[in-house]
A and B are shown apart, each in its own frame.
Chain A
Amino acid sequence: MRYIEPHAHMVSRVTDDYTKMALAGCVAVCEPAFWAGFDRSSADGFYDYFCQLTEHEPKRAARFGLPHFSWLCINPKEAEDVKLAEEVIALIPKFLERSNVLGIGEIGLNKNSRNEMRVLEMHIDLAARYNQLILVHTPHLEDKLKGTRLILDVLKRDKRILPERVIIDHVEEHTVKLVLDSGMWAGMTLYPESKCSPPRAIDMVEMYGDERVWMNSACDWGVSDPLAVPKTALEMRKRGHGEEAIDKLVYRNPMRFLGQCPKFDVKGEMHRQDARATTKA
């Protein structure tokens, strides 16, 4: 089986996870900028983090044959400080030129505050000005429905933003239809307790279809599973879904969305890795 992991925070994972993912059929991993579990003290901290995402982490992934791509932003949990956010957002344009950067993400809301909304709008403006894909984090638990509605309203108001170039991640049963009806993509995150389980994600696909949908693990420094996507594929097989349907969800759909960025050249990167290996031999 082949699959793409479109949302994993690999800076917080060990190399055993890369090995397991590669063995399970992962052909590319994408990493949005996120909250490290603590608040960074200055824009310099984000500068270093962006360097880690665009220089160091791709090299770590390459040792396991995995192309690594990233997204950049100041995450919603650190967006209450608007001045800091402005400084961080000012850093992003020069990183957008780097070869593994796919777009702006994971932006969004956390507690649905006015400052978080302001920072979200700044990111959307940045994405529009630089013609970037957008990956959105929707809030956790009791805040998710309200946050999803606020996020969709802000995105729809900006006519420069094309819905097919936006993915709204971490949907659940009470938000998935809102997202799909907007024309944007919906990400189902297979993460214990606070997001979806594999059976629930497959239920949603069976109820709402497999168009403009992807699955991801969003594995990070918390209790999470970097193999959640192939395990969900296994769950689909148990239910009698065919290989074509599985391949569409875990490979062709992410390829279609991410391929809107010309830098997402998985096959080309794999050929380049083969060429480098041949040259060294």
Chain B
Amino acid sequence: MTRQQVLDLYFMDARSKLIDLAAFIDRIERASGEDDFRMKAFREAVKHLSGSGPERARQVLLSFSDPTSEPVAVAATKGACGAFAAEAR
């Protein structure tokens, strides 16, 4: 596809998602309390959107990921929460 074709196919959807992201950040900042590790990770991940690329999606995923390499002693929970909590290790 040409860049024009990609824009024609995906621009409106991406625009909508960008507004959703912006509204999410506004909503967080209207709410009382502090950012937790998830929001701190989110603010770092967002910076990759305006980076020079080309692998922005990969960089966003990496920035949310657990960077350690050793298995943990015990699986204390079942679910994942979306961002790595360094202070919990």
Contacts and interface: CB of A to CB of B under 8 A. Distances in A.
A146 B66 contact: yes
B78 A174 contact: no
11 contacts: A111-B77, A112-B75, A113-B75, A139-B80, A142-B66, A142-B82, A145-B61, A146-B69, A149-B69, A150-B69, A173-B57
Nearest to A200: B57
B78 A145 contact: no
B51 interface: no
A196 to B, nearest CB: 10
Contact of A113 (B73, B83, B84): B73
B16 interface: no
Given A80-B75, A111-B72, 20 more contacts: A77-B78, A80-B74, A112-B71, A113-B71, A113-B74, A113-B75, A114-B72, A114-B74, A116-B75, A140-B80, A142-B66, A146-B65, A146-B69, A150-B71, A173-B57, A173-B61, A174-B62, A200-B57, A239-B1, A240-B5
Given A112-B71, A139-B80, A173 B55 contact: yes
B61 A172 contact: yes
Contacts of B62: 145, 174
B58 to A, nearest CB: 4
A165 to B, nearest CB: 25
Interface string A218-251: 0000000000000000000011100000000000
B57 A145 contact: no
B1 A240 contact: yes
A240 B9 CA distance: 11
A115 interface: yes
B24 to A, nearest CB: 14
A117 B71 CA distance: 8
Interface string A58-78: 000000000000000000010
Interface residues of A, number: 30
B38 to A, nearest CB: 10
Contacts of A117: 71
B58 A115 contact: no
Interface string B49-89: 00000010110011011111101111111111111100000
A113 B72 contact: yes
Interface of B is mostly: loop
A197 B65 CA distance: 19
B74 A141 contact: no
A173 B82 contact: no
Contacts of A274: none
Given A143-B80, A146-B66, A240-B1, A174 B72 contact: no
A229 to B, nearest CB: 20
A110 interface: yes
Contacts of A116: 71, 75
A52 B58 CA distance: 39
Given A141-B82, A146-B69, A111 B1 contact: no
A123 interface: no
Contacts of A144: 61, 65
Nearest to A111: B75
Interface string A108-144: 0011111111000000000000000000000111111
